[in-house]
């Protein structure tokens, strides 16, 4: 029998179909890439473990250990065999451990965007020192809000930065201490689960938690600014070069020296409160500013951290400038600028002759008399320096006094609360203290920890803060 083939008939394609390669682990989408709320890598590991119905320790021991550690024995089902307590704290950061974990997870999930869950974009421009908190921090109000909205509970990368002390949405300090068992803990361990205490598994969210905190203080406003500024920086990671080159710092210093101090780098240093050797080292690329210094500099220069590190803002003429004068001669002054200079010097001299307490900052004086800060530093760097010294001295004195007041209030009130059957937590103390804003200070929190420990109310001493 013969078969007639008609050209319009569909023919079966008998060649084997091609399949795209399968990922070993679920292709779990990270939360918030390209936004200030992007998830941290440690949070992603915890969530990835949940979708595979295993604890993070098991996921790391069975699947990831082999990829990140040489001579790793896969039967060792222990977190400690892969990451010690110190290295697990650095997994959202900029060093080899973060790189290794990103690569391992991308191999296993076939994702290509997991580096944005770390600070690796800024590995060349941020030093490790003081970059990340040692303990997991969280905003109880954010967690509670997500629970109520039934959205995914996770831990944003922003909360892991050491300089970020407050939630930019709720304007409340981030928490380090479980409200149930008072423990602090690392961001990832065997049984980590975002939103729950590692020690007692208690829920960390709360919608009633609101310490008395004076939101109008300069320090508080500064912390809100820091959280927002770094949130914007994190959001821009996917559109930045990867990694951002170290040269960025030099270019930014060049740009701002040209803009603010006539190209004089040392005058820029005075303007932003950085010593001459330090700013020279940064300019030469020998060292780089720590993140806490960088945010203060950006705050003083009235620019965001992302703009400071955004090399694209630099005009070609400036970015092509190879060298700044480290000691540029003063330019000849016009008649108008001579008068301005005389007025500024007279103003500063008269403020220095008065005994104002607390002594105002150069910025405050400039604001009072409607001058730009850079103009002050340009015409009277020596007097600005003298003002700065007295301002810092008074500020330190005020701070020491506040710490003493806070410590003595804590020593007096914590045992009183405890005697009445009320746990002397930060929140409970804040509601009865005359100066609750002093609970900001590390020394006051440490005093509280000591008092609670001596009352036998805490089973172990707590380390506050992340530094
Ligand atoms: Zn919040
Ligand atoms: Zn707990």
pLDDT at 330: 43
Give the Å distance between the CA of 310 and the centre of ligand 1: 27
pLDDT at 467: 39
Give the Å distance between the CA of 445 and the centre of ligand 2: 18
pTM, two decimal places: 0.66
Could you tell me if 26 and 109 are in contact, meaning their C-beta atoms sit under 8 angstroms apart?
yes
Could you tell me if 226 and 165 are in contact, meaning their C-beta atoms sit under 8 angstroms apart?
yes
Give the Å distance between the CA of 405 and the centre of ligand 2: 30
Could you tell me if 371 and 348 are in contact, meaning their C-beta atoms sit under 8 angstroms apart?
no
Distance CA 296, CA 272 (A): 8
Could you tell me if 185 and 50 are in contact, meaning their C-beta atoms sit under 8 angstroms apart?
no
Q: pLDDT tens, position by position, for the chain (467 residues)?
A: 565 656 566 667 777 777 777 889 999 999 999 999 999 999 999 999 999 999 999 999 889 988 888 888 776 567 777 888 888 889 999 988 999 999 999 999 999 999 999 999 999 999 988 999 999 999 999 999 999 999 999 999 999 999 999 999 998 899 999 999 999 999 999 999 999 999 999 999 998 766 556 666 777 888 999 999 999 999 999 988 888 888 899 989 988 888 888 788 888 888 888 888 899 999 988 899 999 999 988 988 888 999 999 855 444 343 333 455 555 434 434 445 677 888 888 889 889 988 888 888 888 888 888 887 778 887 888 888 888 888 888 988 998 999 999 999 999 999 998 888 888 888 888 888 888 888 888 889 889 988 988 888 776 555 554 43
Could you tell me if 442 and 464 are in contact, meaning their C-beta atoms sit under 8 angstroms apart?
yes
Ligand showing the shortest atom-to-Cα distance for residue 201: 2
Ligand showing the shortest atom-to-Cα distance for residue 172: 1
Relative orientation angle of helices 247-260 and 276-283, to the nearest 10 degrees: 120
Could you tell me if 183 and 462 are in contact, meaning their C-beta atoms sit under 8 angstroms apart?
yes
Residue 138 C-beta-side C-alpha neighbours within 13 Å: 31
Give the Å distance between the CA of 464 and the centre of ligand 1: 19
pLDDT at 328: 44
Give the Å distance between the CA of 171 and the centre of ligand 1: 7
Give the Å distance between the CA of 202 and the centre of ligand 2: 5
Ligand showing the shortest atom-to-Cα distance for residue 196: 2
Distance CA 28, CA 126 (A): 29
Ligand showing the shortest atom-to-Cα distance for residue 181: 2
Give the Å distance between the CA of 119 and the centre of ligand 2: 28
pLDDT at 461: 57
Give the Å distance between the CA of 304 and the centre of ligand 1: 21
Question: Which residue matches tokens 């003429």?
Answer: 317
The token pair that represents 376 in the structure block: 């002050």
pLDDT at 69: 84
Give 311-315's long-range contacts (Cβ < 8 A, gap of 24+): 311/245, 311/247, 311/248, 311/251, 311/252, 313/255, 314/251, 314/252, 314/254, 314/255
pLDDT at 411: 93
Q: Which residues of 138-172 are buried (b: 16+ CB within 10 A; e: fewer)?
A: bbbbbbbebeeeeeebbbbbbbbbbbbbbbbebbb
Give the Å distance between the CA of 137 and the centre of ligand 2: 13
pLDDT at 215: 63
Give the Å distance between the CA of 175 and the centre of ligand 2: 12
Ligand showing the shortest atom-to-Cα distance for residue 200: 2
Ligand showing the shortest atom-to-Cα distance for residue 197: 2
pLDDT at 7: 59
Ligand showing the shortest atom-to-Cα distance for residue 231: 1
Give the Å distance between the CA of 143 and the centre of ligand 1: 7
pLDDT at 82: 83
């Amino acid at each position: 029998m013969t078969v007639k083939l008609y050209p319009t008939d569909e023919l079966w394609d008998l060649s084997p179909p091609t399949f795209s390669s399968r990922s070993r682990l679920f292709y779990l989408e990270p939360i918030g890439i390209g936004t200030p709320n992007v998830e941290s890598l440690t949070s992603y590991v915890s969530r990835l473990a949940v979708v595979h119905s295993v604890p993070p320790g098991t996921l790391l021991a069975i699947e990831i250990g082999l990829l990140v550690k040489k001579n790793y024995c896969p039967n060792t089902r222990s977190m400690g065999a892969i990451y010690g307590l110190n290295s697990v704290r650095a997994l959202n950061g900029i060093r080899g451990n973060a790189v290794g974990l990103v690569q391992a997870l991308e191999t296993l999930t076939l994702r290509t965007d997991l580096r944005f869950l770390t600070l690796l974009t800024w590995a060349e421009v941020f030093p490790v020192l003081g970059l990340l908190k040692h303990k997991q921090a969280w905003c109880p109000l954010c967690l509670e809000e997500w629970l109520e909205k039934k959205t995914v509970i996770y831990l944003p990368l922003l909360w892991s930065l050491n300089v970020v002390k407050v939630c930019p949405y709720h304007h409340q300090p981030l928490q380090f201490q479980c409200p149930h068992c008072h423990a602090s803990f690392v961001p990832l361990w065997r049984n980590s689960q975002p939103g729950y205490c590692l020690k007692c598994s208690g829920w960390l969210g709360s919608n009633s938690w609101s310490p008395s905190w004076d939101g109008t203080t300069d320090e508080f406003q500064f912390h809100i600014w820091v959280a927002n500024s770094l949130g914007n920086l994190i959001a821009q990671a996917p559109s930045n070069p990867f990694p951002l080159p170290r040269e960025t710092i030099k270019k930014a210093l060049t740009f701002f020296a040209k803009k603010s101090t006539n190209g004089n780098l040392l005058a820029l240093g005075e303007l932003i409160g950085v010593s001459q050797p330090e700013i020279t080292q940064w300019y030469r690329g020998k060292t780089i500013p720590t993140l806490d210094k960088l945010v203060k500099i950006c705050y003083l220069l009235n620019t965001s951290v992302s703009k400071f590190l955004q090399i694209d803002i630099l005009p070609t003429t400036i970015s092509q400038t190879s060298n700044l004068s480290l000691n540029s001669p003063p330019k000849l002054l016009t008649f108008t600028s001579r008068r301005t200079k005389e007025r500024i010097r007279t103003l500063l001299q008269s403020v220095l002759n008065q005994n104002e307490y607390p002594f105002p900052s150069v910025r405050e004086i400039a604001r009072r008399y409607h001058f730009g800060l850079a103009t002050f530093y340009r015409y009277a760097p020596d007097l600005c320096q003298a003002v700065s010294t007295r301002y810092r001295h008074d500020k330190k004195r005020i701070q020491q006094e506040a710490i003493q007041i806070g410590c003595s209030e804590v020593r007096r009130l914590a045992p009183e609360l405890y005697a009445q059957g009320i746990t002397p937590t930060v929140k409970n103390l804040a509601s009865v203290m005359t100066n609750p804003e002093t609970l900001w200070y590390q020394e006051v929190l440490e005093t509280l920890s000591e008092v609670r420990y001596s009352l036998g109310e805490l089973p172990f001493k707590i380390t506050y803060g992340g530094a």
